[in-house]
Chains A and B, each alone.
Chain A
């Protein structure tokens, strides 16, 4: 995966510092010097590294070689939708006409930015079957947090905010769902999944009541299954007076095929950095579109883009709004990329991307179907999956001692980024694969072969897998040590 050179480790940028080294960035001061009073000045000079530009540049090239992105190889990280990030979108997001625009410029000087938001907003409404969109949240979990705020504000306005204190979340949900509910002061009620991996309707009926604020659901869920009862689920929650929140993390499976709005959801967030191909940046910036039905549109974060005969403006006069969850209008340049992507795809392309994501997932799942060691949690003849699937390595672990983690580490030696490990929590020794539509059959075939190879190896030579990876710059960092004695910055 990396050449021998990189096994030596890269010194910290602070360790490369040479006192006195610098690159001239600014011209001399062209006004009279004026320093603040001594009493206001920091006591010590900034303890930052001193380097010439070439050293800085080389440092980051060295770090880049020790990272792994979508372009370095197959990245089937379940729930993360690691599809190809088109290069045109980067170029468009770097246009000075976007990057050099101050967020507080007069409205007639930002018509292009507002047009980007407004056009993206219209496309997303069509894709989701929702009526209004805010692009303010900076990431999926931020969208969830703001969406739950809207549910809370709605109930408060209806007069039963205090009594509706519970948010229902299935046990297969992403951790962000319960955390976002808790940040809104809700008590989280976790309902178990049924034997079919979907929402247990009886358990849901039992859980709902006059204290229900709402339900948060991912569909297709984290097992890669579309819940066939979704319409009934949203009816049950609505019947109890609750609202339904759609976690759009898995929208890539169904965009252009079916819509959360038609399933009965009231509020939804979409992850621009998953579904709409904006790059993930090693952990952000992401971007979320928070979508809702018309009756909730007043509660969306403010400001909203308003359109008066083509003259666009920012409307801050929204008395029902939950307010601001960020300083400005969201991760605008991420929105530019998402818009480019959606303009490229068009309506047919959106559906085609989804169906190929599903095709690739089911193809890879069938490719991995042979050996006894791999279990689908729903048995030998599993149902068709959506865009991702989950394997359980429980049997292999009990018989060979080789765990899901060992297999994941083995994949690293084969140049493949491992699938998501140990999630969802309801499957033992889980490995969750999401290949996405931008992978070729040849890539899927090679990945399947590599994986099956390792499964055989687990029988023949389990020790070798427990010692994986071998070819990476470092091997199995000691996480317990990191947490017990935290070293969180360079201390010289």
Chain B
């Protein structure tokens, strides 16, 4: 058994004597007897080798798919080796929130660089230091756009359903109304948006590429919103932003998204990274940590946590959010990813995602799995499923392929730079076979 306690029992006894106690139970004299209990009935502690065996055994019970054609909010991309090396550096890993700026310049500068990177991707003015994940970032963005007069949030039904669920939960908690806007051919119905932007509406959330992979028209949404005093929250994919028009270019007020594609492995859903950026005028509504540049006592450039008057430890119940610990190491990972890939590498990854997804869509169409929607898509697309989806998925699984996600009566496929032509061809061939022969 290890408790990672460096003081052997004899030393503990000496220390107890020093504080005037004879045995360790005296430390708990403040706890009423009725509340004290024997140690928890848990198995005995294990040595390191045994823990390694048990936990490795658990990992071995999962299936690693050599070929992944599934996204739907979690994406497999190439992670450069240097990114992993940076993210596992011991000091970054074991530091707390950088409250003491003098000894935390490394962490603070890394977050400042991350904020700069997020602004570069989104085309927005100001980024925070991170939110928990993409779904909760969207919910926080909806909260930051509300005021006394405008409390309603609108959200396109084409947003990832998990994001919609989180926004709904946060809205219910706050007691503010939420309206889900209908779609037309896989895209937000702009006429419905036009009808919905009433005087109580604070913001609308539009995701692009949306849940079906399609490119939404943020510009048209922004024009409708801004004419009615409503803010546009653009939910985005950070890899797509290397290629497509940015929320900033399209007139969004806030940009949010799931930062996992920026160097984080799939990890069964977490830790991931919520990124949040906004137009300058909304800075003081932004939740969470923000790092700013300043000068030290000797006039040297340095970095600090700033604009803290927004935050819970100062403002308590009047804070813009309760968020305290966020996803700093994931932000650092994302920043290292952006530096390692560079503008060229990220653009290349995005272009390959798009080209391979197009190729896969054609191959699947040929196999009888027709595209459901005609509009342009990035790296995900919805096809019909002219076969039993369970049978299809299990056939693909037998070949080491995690097929697209059965959804909306079709299949939502995702193709990234990780998928080679051969595996796409093989997946399409299996789809064709299952369609023909069941």
Complex Cα distance A475/B299, Å? Answer: 9
Q: Could you mark each residue 282-312 of chain B with 1 if its beta carbon is under 8 Å from any beta carbon of chain A, else 0?
A: 0100000111111111101111101111011
Contact present for B91 and A67 (CB under 8 Å): yes
Within 8 Å of chain B (Cβ to Cβ): is A102?
yes
Interface size on A, residues (CB 8 A): 200
User: How far in angstroms is the closest Cβ of chain A from B293?
Assistant: 4
Question: Which of B37, B106, B172, B351 is A67 in contact with, Cβ under 8 Å?
Answer: B106
Which of B6, B72, B267, B302 has the most chain A CB atoms closer than 10 A to its own CB? Answer: B267
- Report whether B31 and A258 are in contact in the complex, using a CB–CB cutoff of 8 Å: yes
Give Cα A439–Cα B15 distance, bound, in whole angstroms. Answer: 13
Neighbouring B residues of A41 by C-beta, 8 Å: 243-245
Contact between A112 and B303 (Cβ–Cβ < 8 Å)? no
**Contacts A48-B343, A97-B64, A138-B136 hold; do A279 and B94 have CB atoms under 8 A apart?**
yes
**Which residues of chain B come closer than 8 Å to A80, judged between CB atoms?**
96
Asked whether B426 is an interface residue with its Cβ less than 8 Å from the other chain, the reply is: no
Contact A35 to B351, CB < 8 A, known contacts A80-B96, A97-B64, A115-B61: yes
Interface contact A481-B321, CB-CB below 8 Å: no
Chain A residues with CB under 8 Å of B18's CB are 363, 366
Contact B2 A64 (CB under 8 A): no
Within 8 A of A (CB), among B68-98: 68, 70, 72-74, 76, 78, 80, 82, 85-86, 88-98
Which B9-31 residues have C-beta < 8 A from chain A?
Answer: 11-12, 14-16, 18-19, 24, 26-31
Check B269 against A284 for contact (C-beta < 8 Å): no
Chain A CB within 8 A of B246 CB: yes
Select one of A140, A408, A423 contacting B325, CB under 8 A: A140
- Measured between beta carbons, the chain B residues less than 8 angstroms from A71 are 90-91, 94
Taking a contact as CB atoms under 8 Å apart, the answer to whether B96 and A282 are in contact is yes
Check if B42 is an interface residue, CB within 8 A of chain A: yes
Q: What residue of chain A has the Cβ atom nearest to residue B164's Cβ?
A: A324
When each residue 43-71 of chain B gets 1 if its CB lies under 8 Å from chain A and 0 otherwise, what string results? 11111101110111111111111001010
Whether B2 contacts A349 by the Cβ 8 Å rule is yes
Partner of B115, one of A112, A182, A231, A489: A489
Residues of A contacting B323 in the complex (Cβ-Cβ under 8 angstroms): 139, 141-142
A34 touching B355, Cβ below 8 Å: yes
The answer to whether A182 touches B318, judged by C-beta atoms less than 8 angstroms apart, is yes
**Is A317's beta carbon under 8 Å from chain B?**
no
Q: Within 8 Å CB of A47, what residues of B? A: 120, 343
Q: In the complex, how many residues of chain B place their beta carbon closer than 8 angstroms to a beta carbon of chain A?
A: 205
CA distance A474 to B121 in the complex (A): 30
CA distance A75 to B97 in the complex (A): 12
Cα–Cα distance between A344 and B301 once the two chains are bound (Å): 44
With both beta carbons as reference points, the residue of chain A lying nearest to B57 in the complex is identified as A112
The verdict on A48 contacting B342 (CB below 8 Å), with A347-B39, A437-B5, A490-B112 known, is yes
Pairwise interchain contact B97-A280, C-beta atoms closer than 8 A: yes
Known contacts A25-B345, A86-B4; is A68 also within 8 Å of B95 by CB? yes
In contact, B55 and A102 (Cβ under 8 angstroms): no
Question: Considering the chains assembled together, what is the distance between the CA atoms of A141 and B327 in angstroms?
Answer: 13
A306 at the interface (CB under 8 A from B): no
Residue in B91, B168, B358 whose Cβ sees the most chain A Cβ within 10 Å: B91
Q: B121 contacts which chain A residues (CB < 8 A)?
A: 46
Q: Is the CB of B324 within 8 A of A328?
A: no
Closest to B418 in A: A26
Q: CB < 8 Å: which of B58, B70, B111, B376 contacts A116?
A: B58
| B295, closest chain A residue (CB) | A478
Q: How far is the CA of A26 from the CA of B89 in the complex (A)?
A: 25
Complex CA gap A438/B2 in Å reads 11
User: In the bound complex, do residue B271 and residue A69 qualify as a contact, i.e. CB atoms below 8 Å apart?
Assistant: no
Residues of chain B lying within 8 A (CB to CB) of residue A148: 173
Does B130 belong to the interface (CB within 8 Å)? yes
Task: Tell me whether B322 and A176 are in contact (CB under 8 A).
Answer: yes
Specify which chain B residues have a CB less than 8 angstroms from the CB of A183 in the assembled complex: 143, 170, 173-174, 321-322
A30 vs B422: C-alpha distance in the bound complex, in angstroms?
9
Closest to A232 in B: B32
Question: Are B92's CB and A347's CB within 8 A?
Answer: no
Name the residue in B50, B98, B269, B306 with the highest tally of chain A Cβ atoms < 10 Å from its Cβ.
B269
Q: Are the C-beta atoms of B106 and A64 separated by less than 8 Å?
A: yes
Verify A31–B356 contact, CB threshold 8 A: yes
A144 to B293, CA, bound (A): 32
The answer to whether B346 touches A48 (Cβ under 8 A) is: yes
Are A111 and B113 closer than 8 Å at their CB atoms? no
Binds A, one of B184-192, B223-231, B331-339: B331-339
Most buried by A among B30, B127, B325: B325
Given A476-B296, A477-B296, the answer on whether A113 and B62 have CB atoms closer than 8 Å is yes
* Interface: A327 (CB within 8 A): yes
A458 at the binding interface (Cβ < 8 Å): no
* Mask of A356-378 contacts with B, CB within 8 angstroms, 1/0: 10111011001000000000000
Q: Are B102 and A412 in contact (CB under 8 A)?
A: yes
Cβ-based interface call for A205 (8 A): no
- B78 near A43 with CB under 8 A, answer no
CA distance A91 to B49 in the complex (A): 12
A residues in contact with B34, CB < 8 Å: 231
Output the residue of B50, B94, B115 with the most chain A CB within 10 A: B94
Residues of A contacting B126 with CB < 8 Å? 488-489
- In the assembled complex, how far is the CB of residue B124 from the closest CB belonging to chain A, in whole angstroms? 10
A435 → chain B, closest Cβ, in Å? Answer: 11
Q: In the bound complex, do residue B166 and residue A325 qualify as a contact, i.e. CB atoms below 8 Å apart?
A: yes
Closest chain A residue, CB of each to CB of B358: A34
- Within the assembled complex, what's the spacing in Å between the Cα atoms of A340 and B52? 8
Q: Is the CB of B317 within 8 A of A26?
A: no
Q: Is A77 engaged at the interface, CB distance under 8 Å to the other chain?
A: yes
Chain B residues near A181: list those with CB within 8 A.
Answer: 317
A68 surroundings in chain B (CB, below 8 A): 91, 95, 100, 103-104
Query: Is A430 part of the binding interface, using a Cβ–Cβ cutoff of 8 Å?
Result: no
Alpha-carbon distance between A248 and B169 when the two chains are bound, in angstroms: 23
Given known A326-B166, A363-B18, contact A102–B76 (CB-CB < 8 A): yes
Complex Cα distance, B330 from A103, in Å, reads: 18
- In the complex the two chains form, is A67's CB within 8 Å of B132's CB? no
Task: State the Cβ distance, B61 to closest chain A Cβ, in Å.
Answer: 3
B336 touching A60 by the CB < 8 A rule?
yes
Per-position contact with B for A324-346: 1 when CB-CB < 8 Å, else 0?
11111111111010011011111
Between A and B, 10 residue pairs with Cβ closer than 8 Å are: A56-B82, A66-B104, A67-B105, A95-B55, A183-B321, A328-B133, A330-B269, A331-B270, A486-B306, A490-B113
7 pairs of A and B residues whose beta carbons are closest in the complex? A328-B269, A97-B59, A346-B45, A281-B329, A283-B328, A69-B94, A103-B269
Known: A183-B322, A326-B132. 4 other contacts (CB 8 A): A33-B351, A142-B136, A333-B268, A488-B290
